[in-house]
Amino acid sequence: MDRKFPRYNENRAVVVENVELGFCHHATMINFSGNGLCCNTDMPHNPGNKIFIKIEKWPNEKTSGIYIGEVRWCREIKTNQPVDYQIGVKVESLRLNHDS
């Protein structure tokens, strides 16, 4: 399949806040591209929902960031947990927090 942007694998803990549904929880970002990202989560999200994804800085990094976007799709995935989901998020903007 031809993609507009290449995908980069990433296994990184994030915090997801769904603005419309009013909840916040931990998840794992599994990949990202030039205009979106994919996360594994234990909560379903509705396509079209506004979402914030906070990425904590790692010890050797100088910035943390918050992706602001929209849920494009959500699907149930098979894992060892009772129910898990994977969400695709179209990124609208990124706010970086710089440490001094």
Q: Per residue in 22-81, pLDDT tens? A: 899 999 999 988 889 999 999 999 999 999 999 876 667 776 788 899 999 999 988 776
* CATH topology (fold) of 8-98: Thrombin, subunit H (2.40.10)
Retrieve residue 96's tokens. Answer: 């970086």
CB count, 10 Å around CB of 98? 9
Q: For 62-89, b where at least 16 C-beta lie within 10 A, e where not — what string? A: eeebbbbbebeebeeeeeeeeebbbbbb
Between 32 and 2, residue with greater pLDDT: 32
pLDDT at 90: 95
Q: Radius of gyration over alpha carbons of the chain, in Å?
A: 13
Between 90 and 99, residue with greater pLDDT: 90
Helix (H, G, I), strand (E, B) or coil at 79: coil
The strand pairing partners of 17, in sequence order, are 24, 52
pLDDT at 58: 64
